[in-house]
């Protein structure tokens, strides 16, 4: 029997979802089975890729009409991930949320600082030699934003048609629009629409009118959408210059202009 779109999508894998978290109350698609909570029960995140293969056994069993969704932000920048995922299931559809890499780096730093207040300054970590404009690409917060570089590894295994890029910026300004495109990409009915969202002025972000488990409104947690550390505008300019060629290459490769300039 020919496989329908839902059967084809049965083993979906959701990659970094830095904006509207897959695990935090996104309205549930009737076709989605969430493997992430099971996987996250596994201790230690540095072995993400390894554990996610181990954790396949922890994934919920899915019906042919369901899609398994797994969300691990570090997959996109993990060298071995494309090959391993391809070997597991070459039909896997990949979703990557990307945002302006400079803002991403500052967000990343803000998050680390909240856990380790003693780390060096953002400027100190960003440059090998600031006056020469030498950016430290070995610092993860910088390296992750070089999307074009990471994408190359994925394209060695997966065609572009199997990868969907969500704009992190549009996910804030038009969550329903971005979620609509995700649902189209997965070949499922547009169940999540603008009826599900409202803009919460206090949070400064869109929130859900009601969560899956209750009829009360639900925003993402305190660690999502917090105030960023203030960075010297000159540093921001230097980093913009650094990322420009990577961004241009990325836009060209995916055929989409994210307007980060």
Ligand X SMILES: Nc1ncnc2c1ncn2[C@@H]1O[C@H](COP(=O)(O)OS(=O)(=O)O)[C@@H](OP(=O)(O)O)[C@H]1O
Closer of 75 and 205 to ligand X (Cβ): 205
Q: Is 181 annotated as a binding residue?
A: no
Residues numbered 58 to 97 that lie near ligand X (CB under 6 A) are 73
Q: Is 224 annotated as a binding residue?
A: yes
194 binds ligand X (CB under 6 A): no
Contacts with ligand X, 9-28, as mask; x by CB under 6 A: -------xxxxxx-------
Q: Is 189 annotated as a binding residue?
A: no
Contacts with ligand X, 226-255, as mask; x by CB under 6 A: x-----------------------------
Structure tokens at 180: 């609509």
Tell me the closest approach of the beta carbon of residue 1 to ligand X, in angstroms.
38
Tell me the closest approach of the beta carbon of residue 64 to ligand X, in angstroms.
29
Binding interface with ligand X (CB under 6 A): 16-21, 73, 107, 110, 171-172, 205-206, 220, 224-226
């Amino acid at each position: 029997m020919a496989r329908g779109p839902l059967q084809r999508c049965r083993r979906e894998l959701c990659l970094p979802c830095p904006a509207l978290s897959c695990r935090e109350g996104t309205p549930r698609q009737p076709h989605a089975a969430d493997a992430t909570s099971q996987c996250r029960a596994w201790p230690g995140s540095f072995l993400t890729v390894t554990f996610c293969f181990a954790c396949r056994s922890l994934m919920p069993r899915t019906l042919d009409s369901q899609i398994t969704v797994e969300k691990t932000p570090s997959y996109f920048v993990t060298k071995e991930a494309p090959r391993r995922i391809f070997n597991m299931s070459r039909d896997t559809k990949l979703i990557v949320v990307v945002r302006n890499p400079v803002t991403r780096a500052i967000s990343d730093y803000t998050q680390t600082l909240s856990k380790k207040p003693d780390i060096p300054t953002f400027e100190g970590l960003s440059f090998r030699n600031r006056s020469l404009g030498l950016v430290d690409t070995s610092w993860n917060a910088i390296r992750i934003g070089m999307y074009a570089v990471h994408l190359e590894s994925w394209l060695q295994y997966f065609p572009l048609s199997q990868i969907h890029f969500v704009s992190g910026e549009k996910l804030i300004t038009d969550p329903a629009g971005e979620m609509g495109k995700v649902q189209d990409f997965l070949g499922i009915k547009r169940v999540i629409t603008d009826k599900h969202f409202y803009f919460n002025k206090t949070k400064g972000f869109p929130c859900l009118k009601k969560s899956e488990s209750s009829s009360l409104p639900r925003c993402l947690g305190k660690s999502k959408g917090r105030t960023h550390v203030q960075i010297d505008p000159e540093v921001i300019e230097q980093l913009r210059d650094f990322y420009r060629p990577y961004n241009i290459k990325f836009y060209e490769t995916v055929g989409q202009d994210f307007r980060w300039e």
